[in-house]
Amino acid sequence: MTSSTPLLQARGLFCERDDRILFDGLSFSADYGEILQIEGPNGAGKTTLLRLISGLMPLHEGELLWKGKPVSEVRFDFISSLLFLGHKTGIKSLLSPLENLRIWCGARFSVDENSMIAALEAVGLGGYEEVPCHSLSAGQQRRAALARLHLSPVPVWILDEAFTAIDKQGVTELEGWIVDKAAQGGMVILTTHHRIATNSRLRKLQLGKGQEIEIVHEVLGEEEMASAKHEGES
């Protein structure tokens, strides 16, 4: 991979659902140190695109490249390099947050118990580690899912409406984790209606304007960051 080769590239993606074309000829790229925010109205295909990128749905047309090579040729390296958090939390309600983390980590990598407890404390669930998740609020269940971000060593986060159901403090904290991930050289691809205040490289992919695909490069200045932060707190 040369320095000019993006970490992830999409070329000519096509997707149709219920006899309706969501996108056609969609091409974009994302790289280390970037946040790619996918925007568009409901039904534009935002979640579908994330699932295609994550390998949870097969491609109809087009291709994905990982470090310059087709994902089909480097699937293990690709899949093992990303963390996908969907719109649904993926939390088993009969289990506690700690038990959920044990199962999730056990299927992926070795993590000690103290690290899991620290991750739950980091997302505001200190003292709730052993409480059955069905007894937690929707926001607390979302936080239990977000604890995975503090445990996974992968360079790429793919987040579908991760700000859903969490309070203002949680929104601010999650925004900080996303910005830190990019600042540390990771890559984040996400869908959200929340305006992210960051001086990292933020790029926007706009879906839902007919066949028009618009990439907006946005790096916020200090005044814009303060305005965006105020909007998130209001």
Query: Which residue segments constitute the domains of the chain, with CATH numbers given?
Result: 1-81+155-234 (3.40.50.300), 91-153 (no CATH)
The confidence score (pLDDT) of residue 17 equals 84
The confidence score (pLDDT) of residue 215 equals 52
The confidence score (pLDDT) of residue 107 equals 81
Q: Could you tell me the two tokens for 105?
A: 């980590």
d(Cα 210, Cα 107) in Å, to the nearest integer?
Answer: 41
Answer yes or no: pTM beyond 0.85: yes
The confidence score (pLDDT) of residue 200 equals 62
The confidence score (pLDDT) of residue 12 equals 95
d(Cα 124, Cα 144) in Å, to the nearest integer?
Answer: 9
Strands 187-191 and 34-39: parallel
Full 3-state SS string of the chain: CCCCCCCEEEEEEEEEECCEEEEEEEEEEECCCEEEEEECCCCCCHHHHHHHHCCCCCCCEEEEEECCEEHHHCHHHHHCCEEEECCCCCCCCCCCHHHHHHHHHHCCCCCCHHHHHHHHHHCCCCCCCCCCHHHCCHHHHHHHHHHHHHCCCCCEEEEECCCCCCCHHHHHHHHHHHHHHHHCCCEEEEECCCCCCCCCEEEEEEEEECCEEEEEEECCCHHHHHHHHHHHHC
51: left (phi over 0), alpha (psi -120 to 50) or beta: alpha
How many other C-beta atoms are found inside a 10 Å radius of the C-beta of residue 207? 21
d(Cα 80, Cα 204) in Å, to the nearest integer?
Answer: 25
The confidence score (pLDDT) of residue 222 equals 43
The confidence score (pLDDT) of residue 209 equals 64
Q: What is the pLDDT along the chain (234 residues), one digit of tens a residue?
A: 445 889 999 999 999 888 888 899 999 999 999 999 999 898 899 999 999 999 999 998 999 999 999 999 999 999 999 999 998 999 999 999 999 999 999 888 889 999 999 999 999 999 999 999 999 999 999 999 999 999 999 999 999 999 999 999 999 999 999 999 999 999 999 998 888 876 668 999 999 865 444 455 554 444 444 444 444 444
The confidence score (pLDDT) of residue 151 equals 95
